[in-house]
Amino acid sequence: MTETTHTQTTPPGGAARPRSPEFRLAADALRGLRQDLFHDAFAYRPLPRRDADGRLARRSGRIKDYAAWTPHATVAALGLVAMLFALASGYPGLPAALCALLALVPVLLTLARPVGAFWFSLAASTACAVIGGADGWSDWPWLPGSFLSHLVVLTVVALRTRPRAAAWMWALTAVYGFLAENVLGSGHYNTNVGPMLVVSALLLLIVTVRHIRREAAQEVSAQQTVTAVERSRRTLLEERTTIARELHDVVAHHMSVVAIQAEAAPYRVENPPPELEKAFATIRENAVAALTELRRVLGVVRAEDYEAPDAPQPTLADLDGLLANVRETGLEVEKTVTGAVRELPQGVELSAYRIVQEALSNTLRHAPGAGARVEIGYVLGGLGLRIVNGAPPASALLKPSPGAGHGITGMRERVAMLSGEMTAGPAADGGYEVTVFLPVPVDIAIEGEA
């Protein structure tokens, strides 16, 4: 049996004892005090101009030009009111003028150096109390002008900083009032420390609630933006999944036909040469292998409860049935076809049918009671679609239902899948117009006609 002795070496500075939660809380509070009110207290932080989105800013003329300076004018006006209070309640002559100036300067200083304005307001209140408070029956330690000036400074600085700074300013104001009342207030019988703390606490509480509501509104707005982006992305993925399923059915059908025709082709020729039989066998093997890989890769986009449709996928030949169903809902829809009607690739036919279907569904949802028109143009290079509806009549019984634009997203995905072009937007008459062009190679179009 081996006995092992473990010796722990104590660091030179002694083992660090764990700090209590109260100590850490006090240290964090003092760190916040230093950061909010002492670090770069007199740094230059000008009050920004007001955003030009308010009610005054939307007006024309000089009011619109001066609306951005409304906060600055408001602060300056409050400073002038504090100065008038100082002039009206102070001693005549030079003391009254100095107290008025000391009431105005801290308020104006909040426009450029907000934290420094708080410290300057405490110093100015002390100086004004010494200059104009010789009478023992006057208010102490804030004269009327200084009282209003300090309240304005607290409110403006709290608006421009964080709620934690507002709490520290109120606490320092309480400490200043206690010291001024008990250390420097001998011979003074009227104290206004209590009213200062009560009124300032009420004002700072209002400002803090405003801060909290604004931050909450910003968080809600940011969350709504993220939710909208995620919803749009999810809708896009779902639409791509639907398209992939449909394409899988189309391509799988064609590959199965190729495999069957390649297997049956040698029996249609009497005494086929071995090279021809081998070529057809190779074609069939490649078709079967491609079909297997296609099902393996695209099988992941199928839901567990997804079942392949028994009926064939719709084409433009089935469009009349769709329009008949839409007309039964009360939507007046017209169909116009130009060009030589021909059979197009099944993917183009299916996408064109789905685009017309979605556009008419949007008309039913967003423009109830309005008429619609479907235009189909067969050209040499592809297929053109134009679905336009008028504005909903004012006498319509049904109201338009809001949507998230998922239908337009799905149509764009189908058009992008076929390398086509699409435009969608309001029409000149107040309705909505969707224009799509789906390209079709000329050789495929000619083969379809044959």
Give CA angle at 119 (115, 124), nearest 5°: 135
Give 10-residue mean pLDDT values along the chain (450 residues): 45 58 78 85 88 55 72 93 85 82 94 94 90 67 91 95 91 92 73 92 94 89 84 76 68 69 74 80 78 63 51 80 83 91 87 89 82 92 92 66 64 87 89 92 54
**Alpha carbon distance 258, 254 (integer Å):** 6
pLDDT, position 297 = 58
pLDDT, position 362 = 85
Check if the beta carbon of residue 152 is closer than 8 Å to that of residue 79.
yes
Quickly count: other Cβ atoms within 10 Å of residue 206's Cβ: 12
pLDDT, position 88 = 84
Torsion of CA 209, 214, 215, 216, to 10 degrees: 90
pLDDT, position 446 = 46
Question: What are the beta bridge partners of residue 436?
Answer: 385, 422
**Alpha carbon distance 166, 413 (integer Å):** 53
**Alpha carbon distance 106, 123 (integer Å):** 10
pLDDT, position 189 = 72
Torsion of CA 68, 74, 79, 81, to 10 degrees: 150
pLDDT, position 406 = 62
Cβ-based burial of 82 (10 A; exposed 0-12, middle 13-18, buried ≥19): buried
pLDDT, position 416 = 87
**Alpha carbon distance 388, 63 (integer Å):** 43
